[in-house]
Amino acid sequence: MGYLFDGDNWEWLWTENNASFLLEAFLVNVEIAVIAIVLALVLGLGLALASIAQARLVRLTAKGWVDVFRNLPLIFLILYLALSLPDSLKDFWAANAPGFLPEALRGKLVLAGIIGLVLYNSAVLAEIMRAGILSLDRGQREAAAALGLSYRQQMRHVLLPQGLRRMVPATVSQLITLNKDTTLVSIIAVQEVVRSGRVLSNTAGNPFVGGGDIAAPILQVMIFIGLLFVLVNLALSRLSRRLELREGRRTAGARRVSVSGIEDQAVAPT
Amino acid sequence: MFDILTEHFDAFSSGLWVTTRLVGLSLLIALVLGTLVAALRVAPSAWLQRLGGVYVEIFRNIPLLVLLFISFAGLRRAGVGIGAWTAGIASLGIYTSAYVAEALRSGVFSVSKGQREAALSLGFSQAETLRRIVLPQAFRTVIAPLGSITIAMIKNSAIVGASLLALPDLLKEARIVNSNTFQTTEAFFWAAVGYLLLTLSATVLFRTLEARLAIRR
C-alpha cells in the first residue's frame, strides 16, 4: 500500500508532458472506438435484417456468419487479420489514409484492428437486434400486415423502432465492451494508450531514452489508464440508464430478452 | 488442411487444455467472488451496498488487458510478483466476478419478497436467509445469464495468452504453429475450431442445467 500511494511513484504524472502523452494516446482509443461503433452498428443492422429475412438462403447464411464471428475471441480475429490481410491493402491504407487522422491510425496494422472490432461487434450487435425484433408480440407484425404495409414498411415503421428501442441497454453494454476492447490493438503494435503506457514506464526514469530522471512504475501508469476507462464507461452507462428510464415510461412491461455470449444482459427493471 | 492438425496435434491439444483449465479455474473464482459481492450488494447496510457497487463498477469498466498488466507487470515492479498463471486466473476471475455479481443481484431481486419474510419470521438470521433461501433460488433464475458470462469468459481467456503473460493457451499455440509453418489460415482455422468447440459445449452444458434447474419467472 505504501508503494502504491507513495508520492514519488506518482510524480511522473505531473512532470513534463507525461499526462498529456497518455491522454493523447487515449484519444486514439476513443477514435478507434467511434469508427468501429459506427461501422459495427450499420453492418450489425444489415446482418440482423438478413438473419430474419424471408429468403431461406439469406437467412441461413447470415445466421451462420453471425454465429461464427460472435463465438470467436476478438483478439483471435485481430491477430489473424494482422497476419493475413494482404500487404497491398495495408500499403494502400498507409499511403492513402486521410490526413486528419492521427498518426497511429494511419499505420499499416490499424486496419486489422478496426476490421476485427467491426466483424466481431457487428455479429454480436446483430444478435442483440435480432433478439429485440423477435421479442415483439407477433400481433404487431400481423396488424401492420393487415393494414396493408409492405414487408419493408412493416420493418421500417413498426418492427424496427420498437425492437431496437427495447435493446438499447444491451446495445450500450456491448458498446462499452467495444470501448474496452480497443486496448487489444496494442497487441498488434498500434500506438494507443496501453502501448503508450508501456513506453512511458520503460522510458521514464531512463535518461538514455530521454525520459528524464523520474520513474513511472508500470503499476501506477496502468492504474491511471484503467481509471480513464472506468470514467468514460461510467459516463456511457449513466447515459444509457437515463435513456432506459425514459423508455421505461413509454414502453412499460417490455419482456426481458437474453442474448447468449454477451456478458452484460439487458436486465429490465422489474 | 488436415495435415497441419495431425502434425501439430500435440500443440493444439495442449493449448486447448491450457485454455480449458484457465477458464475453469477463473470461473470458480468468478463465481465465489461474484457471490460474495452480490451479497454485499443486497446487504442491509448502505455502506456495504456502496462497497459492492464500487467493486462492480471498477472491474466491469476496466479493460481486461489493463488488469492483466496491473496484476502481472505492475505487481512484479512493486516487489510482490506473482506467477503468470496466478495473474491470469486472478485477472480473468476478478474481471468476470463483477458480471457474475450483477447477474446474481438481479436474480436476488427476482426472488419474491415473501420468501425472505417467511425465512426471517421463522427465525433465520439475515445471512442465513440469504445463504439458504434467497441465493439458491437466485442462482436458479440466472442460469442463462451465467451461461452467457461463461461463453464471454472463454473468449476473454484468449486475451490472457495474447498479453505479455507467457501462457501457452490455444491462441498462443496457434501463433507458434503459424510461425513454424507459415500456414496462417490453417493454424488459425484449427484454433477457431477449438474455441467453437469450447463455446458450444458451454452452451450445451448451460442449456442442460437450465432445463433441469431453472425457475422461470
ipTM of the complex: 0.89
Measure CA A27 to chain center.
14
Partner B contacted by A237 (CB < 8 A): yes
Q: What is the pLDDT of residue A267?
A: 47
Residues 170-189 of B with CB under 8 A from A: 171, 175, 178, 184-185, 188
Rounded Cα distance, B189 and B186, in Å:
5
pLDDT on residue A268:
42
**Å between A217 CA and nearest CA of chain B:** 7
Looking at residue A252, its pLDDT comes to 52
| Residue from the list B74, B147, B158 with its beta carbon closest to the beta carbon of A218 | B74
Whether residue B99 lies within 8 A of chain A, CB to CB, comes out as yes
By CA distance, what is A189's nearest residue in B?
Answer: B163
Q: Do B171 and A75 touch (CB under 8 A)?
A: yes
Q: Are B64 and A180 in contact (CB under 8 A)?
A: yes
Model's pTM, two decimal places? Answer: 0.89
Confirm if B159 and B65 have CB atoms less than 8 A apart: yes
Q: Is there a contact between A85 and A112 (Cβ–Cβ < 8 Å)?
A: yes
* B208–chain A Cβ distance below 8 A for any pair: no
B149 and A183: CB-CB below 8 Å? no
Q: Is A85 on the interface with B (CB under 8 A)?
A: no
For position A3, what pLDDT does the model report?
76
pLDDT of amino acid A269: 38
Interface check for A218 against chain B (CB to CB < 8 A): the answer is yes
Residues of chain A positioned with their CB less than 8 A from the CB of B158: 73-76
Q: Do B151 and A3 touch (CB under 8 A)?
A: no
How far apart are alpha carbons B147 and B162 in whole angstroms? 24
How would you class A267 by CB atoms within 10 Å of its CB: exposed for 0-12, middle for 13-18, buried for 19 or more?
buried
Q: Which residues of A88-116 are buried (b: 16+ CB within 10 A; e: fewer)?
A: eebeebeeebeeeeeebbbbbbbbbbbbb
Tell me the C-alpha distance between B103 and A170, whole Å: 13
- Grid cell 443492422 in the structure block, residue: A45
Is B192 in contact with A217 (Cβ distance < 8 A)? Answer: no
Measured CA to CA in angstroms, residue A261 lies from A49, A62, B8 at distances of 20, 17, 30
State the Rg of chain B over Cα: 20
Nearest to A219 among B61, B77, B157 (CB): B77
Among candidate residues A206, A96, A68, the one with its CA nearest the CA of residue B197: A68
Residue A34, chain B, CB below 8 Å: the answer is: no
Residues 160-199 of A with CB under 8 A from B: 176, 180-181, 183-184, 186-187, 194, 197-198
Along the 270 residues of chain A, how does pLDDT read in single tens digits?
A: 677 777 777 877 777 778 888 998 999 999 999 999 999 999 999 999 999 988 999 999 999 999 999 999 999 999 999 998 888 888 888 887 787 777 778 888 889 999 999 999 999 999 999 999 998 888 998 999 999 999 889 999 999 998 888 888 888 889 999 999 999 999 888 888 998 888 888 766 665 555 566 677 888 899 999 999 999 999 988 888 887 777 666 655 555 566 766 777 654 433
| Interface touch B63/A183, C-beta < 8 Å | yes
- A42 and B CB contact within 8 Å: no
Using a CB–CB cutoff of 8 Å, tell me whether B48 touches chain A.
no
Q: Which residues of chain B have pLDDT under 50?
A: none
pLDDT score at A85: 86
Q: Taking CB atoms and an 8 Å limit, are A194 and B65 in contact across chains?
A: yes
